[in-house]
């Protein structure tokens, strides 16, 4: 029996999932996922790591599908429910998925691919109310369990393969570090084809015997209604979501703000991740909610690796310290460990680290050191014991005029300006400077900004060589599904 099913068997009478006005117990989840697993097996005794893709709405059906694939011995390949057909077809073809499990409303989207590929399709039902008719295979924890696709930059997205053991390490590390319990109830507002949603929110909650509430679409009013019900005590989101929630708060009365703050103050934990959390957002959210956000660092290949403490100081602008069981080093381009206080690339070792990139042995080999440490491509520095992310070596570390400059540092300063709501800083090729520092700005209620005055203001806040040389005003920044700014799209705007 898989450990996550074993955990669920300890909480059979508890509510596991709230969605679509219904609630579902752990007993229902175990039974229904077992029955679907037997359907996936058909006449086989073990799927033996066949890739099973699924495009299922967040909620009970999503979780039972995920658990069913694992129990049948397959590798789960979650598809993004908002992606267009070409993106979906790429994942299906890359994984050579043999079965496609769908919520019925997505059948029209994928029908052209289904017709051409002749793939087996299973429409997931709400509830079958049937008992499991066959024995399920015993699954070795070293087997592959999940393929999540990383966001592509210059190349096509890569499939990140994690084993059952990797996933267990990722879950149990967070269970201990963030003190999940069966008394928790969280809301899932994050995409479930990303590690933040599928592992940090859903898998961790259900492993702990907690309840997870799913909402069909993100809407600030609905989120605050759920907060006000006093049932929710854990919330995890990305900076963009916190920003949208604050925009809603600013539009309601002071009395309503006070009532919501009193409610949020009682929460056990609020977490932010998947993109850099601006200090200004963290401080404003604390004023509105009474909650000091816990910022952490992770990625698809790792789960979570670094976190601010659950008990202890949560430093604004820092992602914290290494999680238990996760080893971290900062190294230079020669893979030599840097001196304390010097910036270096984060490399990671631990049971949480993924197995491989799907069918890309060269890419897998290139991303590990000879000693087996995973090279993240992210640059950080340790200051007073806490890690501060300076950016990705490829897009956030700008080499200009002989200096290595953190784009994130410049962005943090720009956001302090009263007329700037948001920004993105990148480097673009330049013969004189190597890379020229440029910035896109989203302005507060004005259409233009005096660039000379802005630069005069900037050089009072940081070294003059760090100031942008060009600006571009946008209505909004290009972002991916997790709210991360797509820096390569920003660069294209200056071409």
Which tokens hold the place of 463? 């070294």
Superfamily of domain 397-492: ANL, C-terminal domain (3.30.300.30)
CB 154 within 8 A of CB 86: no
How much is the mean pLDDT over the chain? 92
Give me the pLDDT at residue 132, please. 56
Q: What is the pLDDT of residue 151?
A: 62
Low-confidence ranges of the chain (pLDDT < 50): 152-154
Q: Which two tokens stand for residue 142?
A: 């070293």
Closest CA to 37 of 122, 106, 120: 122
Strand partners, 320: 387
CB 175, CB 150: distance < 8 Å: no
Distance set, CA 234 to CA 28, 86, 210, 263, 455 (Å)? 24, 36, 10, 12, 41
The predicted pLDDT at position 16 comes to: 97
* Residues 17 and 39 sit within 8 Å (Cβ to Cβ): no
pTM: 0.86
Are the CB atoms for 405 and 395 separated by under 8 Å? no
Q: Are 202 and 192 in contact (CB under 8 A)?
A: yes
**How does DSSP classify residue 79?**
P
pLDDT at residue 495, rounded to an integer: 81
pLDDT of 153: 43
**Of the candidates 229, 261, 269, which has an alpha carbon nearest to the alpha carbon of residue 245?**
261
* Cα separation of the two ends of the chain: 55
Would you list the DSSP string of 436-483?
EEEEEEEESS-S---HHHHHHHHTTTS-GGGS-SEEEE-SS--B-TTS
Per-residue tokens: 365: 């080999």
State the pLDDT at residue 154. Answer: 43
Question: pLDDT tens digits for 129-180?
Answer: 666 556 899 999 999 999 999 864 445 789 999 999 999 999 999 999 999 9
Tokens of 54: 């699924």
Interacting residues of 438 by C-beta distance below 8 A, sequence separation 6+: 425, 426, 427, 428, 468, 469, 470, 471, 472, 494
């Amino acid at each position: 029996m898989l450990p996550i099913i074993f955990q669920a068997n300890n909480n059979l009478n508890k509510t596991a999932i709230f969605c679509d006005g219904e609630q579902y117990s752990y007993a229902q989840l175990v039974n229904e996922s077992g029955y679907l697993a037997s359907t996936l097996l058909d006449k086989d005794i073990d799927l033996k790591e066949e890739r099973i893709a699924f495009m299922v709405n967040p909620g009970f059906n999503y979780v039972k599908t995920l658990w069913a694939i694992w129990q049948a011995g397959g590798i789960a390949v979650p598809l993004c429910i908002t992606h267009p057909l070409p993106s979906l077809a790429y994942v299906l073809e890359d994984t050579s998925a043999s079965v496609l499990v769908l919520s019925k409303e997505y059948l029209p989207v994928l029908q052209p691919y289904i017709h051409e590929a002749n793939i087996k399709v299973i429409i997931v039902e709400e509830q079958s109310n049937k008992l499991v008719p066959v024995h399920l295979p015993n699954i070795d924890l070293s087997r592959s369990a999940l393929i999540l696709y990383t966001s592509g930059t210059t190349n096509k997205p890569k499939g990140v393969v994690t084993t059952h053991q990797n996933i267990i390490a990722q879950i149990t590390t967070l269970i201990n570090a963030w003190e999940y319990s069966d008394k928790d109830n969280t809301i899932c507002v994050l995409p479930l084809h990303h590690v933040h949603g599928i592992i940090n929110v859903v898998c961790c909650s259900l492993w702990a015997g907690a309840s997870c509430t799913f909402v069909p679409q993100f809407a600030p009013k609905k989120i605050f209604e759920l907060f006000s019900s006093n049932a929710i005590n854990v919330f995890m989101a990305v900076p963009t979501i916190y920003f949208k929630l604050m925009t809603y708060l600013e539009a309601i009365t002071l009395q309503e703000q006070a009532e919501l703050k009193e409610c949020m103050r009682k929460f056990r934990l609020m977490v932010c991740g998947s993109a850099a959390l601006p200090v200004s957002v963290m401080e404003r959210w604390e004023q509105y909610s009474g909650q000091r956000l816990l910022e952490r660092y992770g990625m698809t290949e790792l789960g979570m690796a670094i976190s601010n403490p659950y008990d202890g100081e949560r430093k604004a602008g820092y992602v914290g310290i290494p999680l238990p069981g996760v080893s971290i080093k900062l190294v230079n381009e020669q893979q030599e460990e840097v001196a304390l206080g010097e910036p270096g690339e984060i490399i990671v070792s631990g049971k949480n680290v993924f197995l491989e990139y799907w069918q890309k042995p060269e890419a897998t080999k290139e991303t590990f050191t000879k000693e087996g440490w995973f090279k993240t491509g992210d640059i950080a520095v340790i200051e007073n014991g806490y890690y501060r992310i300076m950016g990705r070596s490829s897009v956030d570390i700008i080499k200009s005029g002989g200096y290595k400059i953190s784009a994130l540092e410049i962005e943090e300063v720009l956001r302090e300006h009263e007329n700037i709501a948001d920004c993105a800083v990148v480097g673009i090729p330049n013969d004189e400077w190597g890379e020229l520092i440029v910035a896109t700005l989203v302005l507060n209620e004005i259409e233009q900004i005096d660039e000379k005055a802005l630069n005069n203001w900037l050089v009072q806040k940081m070294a003059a060589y760090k100031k942008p040389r060009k600006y571009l005003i946008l209505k909004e920044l290009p972002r991916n599904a997790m709210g991360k700014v797509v820096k390569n799209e920003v660069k294209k705007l200056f071409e």
